[in-house]
Amino acid sequence: MSTAESSAPRLQWSLIVPVKVLARAKTRLSAAAGPHREALALAVAADTVAAALRCDRVRSVIVVTDDPVPAAELAALGATVVPDEPDAGLNPALVHGAQRSRATVPHTGVGAISADLPALRPGELARVLDAAAQVPAAFVPDAAGIGTTLYTARPGVPFSPAFGGDSRAAHRARGAAELLLDDIDSVRRDVDTLDDLKIALKLGAGPRTTAVAARLPALGDSMRAAPG
């Protein structure tokens, strides 16, 4: 890389984070989380948003939600919160958030990122966003290799997310570049099950998720055995 390239300003990004109404969030963790399920869902989303906001490639985080509880907490962290006005499913909600972003900061890239990445590391996210800046549209597959945790479009490129089901194949079919960088585990580790949560905790989940996880009977012994 030349000196001019290394000193050039990096593309800045607006990230759209969809957050479910807590009553419907993390239902696959119902048995393990019990009465703490909603608190866990909120903690995971808050740790994700907080980490994204600490990434120096991220200019803004736009949360799309109709639940006033996460809306207030995530706004307090520094996110911009907008209602899910389309109320037509995940991808329309993401497009709505992207439209709001492009109306206010048209020169940034736009990305949709899962709200369940509690171990997200700002440095790993920065590496991914720098790679995404080199192609019109890109995505990061989840750790299972079936879904997607991040989808991006550069300024001026149509924003066409295809989350849900086999979204890895769907994003490939739409021509988005698949980003399979080394050492980006925290960007790929979304949390839907108890095993996912255990892995995220080993990676180093954020403080809110760690605190709630410590109250789960299913994790009690392992949390007490964890160092620190």
Annotated binding-site positions for phosphoenolpyruvate: 148, 164, 167
- Whether 2 and 9 have beta carbons less than 8 Å apart is answered as no
Give the whole-angstrom CA distance, residue 3 versus residue 9: 12
**DSSP conformational letter for 135:** S
Q: Which of 109, 185, 114 is nearest to 149 (CA)?
A: 114
Helix (H) or strand (E) segment spanning residue 66: none
Instruction: Give the containing element (helix H, strand E) for 100.
Output: helix 90-104
Tokens matching residue 165: 């089901």
Phi and psi at residue 68, in whole multiples of 5°? -65, -20
Alpha helices in the chain (DSSP H): 3-7, 30-33, 37-54, 68-77, 90-104, 122-132, 167-173, 185-188, 194-203, 207-213, 220-225
Residues in binding site: 148, 164, 167
